[in-house]
Amino acid sequence: AGVGLGREEMQRILLALKLLVESHGLPQCRLWGKILGTESSYIIAEAEYTEGDEEQSTDEDLQEEEEEESGTQENETDPVPRSTYVHPPMVPKEALGTGANRFFYFVCNEPGLPWVKLPSVSPAQITAARHICKGFTGRLDSPVLSYPPFPGKEANYLRAQIARISAGTQVSPSGFYQTVEEEGEEEEEMAHDQCLVNPEFEGVSSLGMAQSLSSWVHHIQHILKQGRCTWVNTAMKVEEDSIEEEEAAEKDEQADEPEPEYGPPLLTNLSQDAEMFHTPPWSLRLSSTITPQHAVAVLRSNLWPGAFAYSNGKKFENIYVGWGLKYTGQGYSPCVPPPPQKEYPSGPEVTEMLDPSVEEEEEMRMALEEQQEVQQELEEDEEEEDEN
């Protein structure tokens, strides 16, 4: 396909992947790709989730807890004015082994260095990554200085970009996978995010795959605008204080309940992918026109430069070698900051006025002197009446 890392580096990566499987006890793993950085690059390995794998609490969660505790202590000792801004509800993270957290990812800067397991990704990180365009440095602990601010370090930003690239560029020949079809409501819901290898798949001609996008399908779930693969209602809040509060909450939920969001189903043809900036999302070609009977179909993503897929009709593989950034057209335009909020309610008691002129000040002074003289006369008359 014209994409590679060199014979020596590929051999070193192969040995490093074997060491990763042995050291972490993984059933299997594959080379996801390589993301380039300014100081060093990331070699990324993808492993499937297995039961029993648990994720330790991250530093971000601990920091949030500490900030909440410190905030409550400060409010108790020295109460401060409270902001009227209502933060939107936090979108919960998808469980391990599902959605954007379906796979585990390990990274290292060079073959032979220790593998580092990336943390799971959250919807807030995916949403923030969609609004920024920032390259990688090659250091997982480096901060991500951007606007809008990214909630995490470069390790979290790398994990978010991997999830976005996988959701948009992981493809396979049509018919290689089949969706899970089982009875029951819960099983039907699970059928939308799972697909298995079709044992009856006989293969497709590589020539036909190089000529039509309908021969390729997405086998990874689409990420919604919410930052998840499956939509969740964040406005649902059940109050257990009293029955009246529950009924009022139900009425409010019915009135302001957001509309559910659905993405394209699994195994959707690539011919249905939308264009961006008047650019087709994919480019197809044969690896060789001289010997087409031995050539493979090569698929290149134009929206994620560096993402490739190739297949001989029976087997396929996906790989990414690039900077980890999405195509932005002719130029990248950062987000515009929101308008500033009002600092205080505007009213006559706080509204600024123009300074009076000298003539107006003299008129006001004369009026005040007349009022004072009238008040003095009234007070003297009252004193005389009291004496009489």
| pLDDT of the chain, 388 residues: tens digit per residue | 888 888 999 999 999 999 999 999 998 899 999 999 999 999 999 998 876 666 654 444 534 444 444 444 444 566 776 777 777 888 999 999 899 999 999 999 999 999 999 999 999 999 999 999 999 999 999 999 999 999 999 999 999 999 999 999 999 999 999 987 655 444 444 445 678 899 999 888 888 899 999 999 999 999 999 999 999 988 774 434 444 455 555 555 554 677 888 889 989 999 999 998 889 999 999 999 898 888 999 999 999 999 999 999 889 999 999 999 999 988 888 888 888 877 777 777 777 778 889 999 999 999 999 999 999 988 888 888 888 7
pLDDT value of position 189: 43
Q: C-alpha dihedral over 84, 87, 89, 93, to 10 degrees?
A: -150
How far, in Å, CA of 188 to CA of 353, rounded? 67
pLDDT value of position 64: 47
pLDDT value of position 16: 96
Output the CA–CA distances (angstroms, integers) from residue 115 to 19, 154, 198, in the order listed: 9, 16, 33
pLDDT value of position 66: 42
Contact between residue 261 and residue 185 where contact means Cβ atoms under 8 Å apart: no
Contact between residue 318 and residue 301 where contact means Cβ atoms under 8 Å apart: no
Contact between residue 327 and residue 279 where contact means Cβ atoms under 8 Å apart: yes
How far, in Å, CA of 315 to CA of 168, rounded? 20
Q: How confident is the model over 220-254, as pLDDT tens digits?
A: 999 999 999 999 988 774 434 444 455 555 555 55
Residue 198, both tokens:
């079709």
Output the CA–CA distances (angstroms, integers) from residue 68 to 64, 71, 74, 90, in the order listed: 6, 5, 10, 15
How far, in Å, CA of 201 to CA of 267, rounded? 14
State residue 244 phi and psi, 5-degree precision: -65, -40
pLDDT value of position 242: 41
Which residues, including other chains, have CB under 8 Å from residue 147's CB and lie 6 or more apart? 132, 334, 335, 337
pLDDT value of position 33: 96
pLDDT value of position 343: 73
34's enclosing H/E stretch is strand 29-35
User: Could you say which DSSP state residue 235 is in?
Assistant: T
Residue that the structure tokens 């970009």 belong to: 161
pLDDT value of position 185: 43
pLDDT value of position 55: 62
pLDDT value of position 334: 83
Selection from 300, 324, 386 nearest residue 3 by Cα:
300
